[in-house]
Amino acid sequence: MTAIRFYWGVYDAVSAAAVHRAGGEGLWLSGLCCSAVQGLPDTELAGLGDLLACLRTVRRATDLPLWVDCGTGFGSPSNLAVAADDLRQAGASGVCFEDKVFPKRNTFAPVHHVLEEVERFCDKIGHARRQLEGSGCRVIARTEALAVEEPLDAALERARAYADAGADLLVLSHPAPSMERVREFLAAWEGRLPVVLLPTSYRLDEIGRAHV
């Protein structure tokens, strides 16, 4: 049976301190929440400076492992490499970026979502991998393939390419009440990389059966 760990979403020093005092294992610095506390939509209007300021505030409250959601990575592979290094120096334990075209829209937004070409996204992973090599900061690749209703085979093809490109973990986004497609993915994935799930919309009884 695969171990399940929970990283709790935070967005400021108060929320981070609350998780720390409650015995949380780790933190997820949400791009959505960092944007929302500034009164901005989750469309990457908040820049790297805003995210760094939020990260530093959280780091004043806790030393728990902290993964940072940086949307699509601020555009180009080179932009992502610079951002990843800055976030690491500010205290990130992992940098997460997703395979949507910049500027992204929130997964739940009722708009047409466009994914990056696999080769270009792998280039981003490679840039981040080289920038963070030896630092202990994780490269976390997020795929929205299931979220945009790509076939399971296409999602697996993307995920395998991201693993080959050097990702340490895979975030599988799937905003639906049922985890049926997630379980199908995990069964075919065979544990090649640890998989991170975002349980934003899953039923509680589904979460307990997520591991295979």
Encode pLDDT of 5-55 as tens digits: 889 999 999 999 999 999 999 999 988 889 988 899 888 888 999 999 999
The pLDDT mean for the chain works out to 89
pLDDT tens per residue, range 113-136: 889 999 999 999 999 999 999 999
- Enzyme catalytic residues: 42
Residues 6+ apart with CB under 8 A from 100: 72, 113, 114, 115, 116, 144
> pLDDT, tens digit, for every residue of 134-167?
999 999 999 999 999 999 999 999 999 999 999 9
Mean pLDDT of 76-85: 96
Residue 210 has pLDDT above 50, yes or no: no
- Rounded Cα distance between 152 and 100, Å, is 17
Q: How confident is the model at residue 176 (pLDDT cuts 50, 70, 90)?
A: confident
pLDDT at residue number 201: 60
Q: So what's the pLDDT on residue 211?
A: 44
Question: pLDDT value at position 206?
Answer: 54
- Listed in sequence order, the residues at least 6 apart from 163 whose beta carbon sits closer than 8 Å to its beta carbon are 170, 192, 193
CA distance 194 to 3: 10
pTM: 0.90
Contact 183, 207 (CB under 8 A): no
131: Cα within 13 Å, side-chain hemisphere: 23
54 Cβ neighbours under 8 A, 6+ residues apart: 11, 12, 29, 34, 37
What strands lie across the sheet with 94-98, from one edge to the other? Answer: 7-10, 26-29, 66-69, 94-98, 138-143, 169-172, 195-197
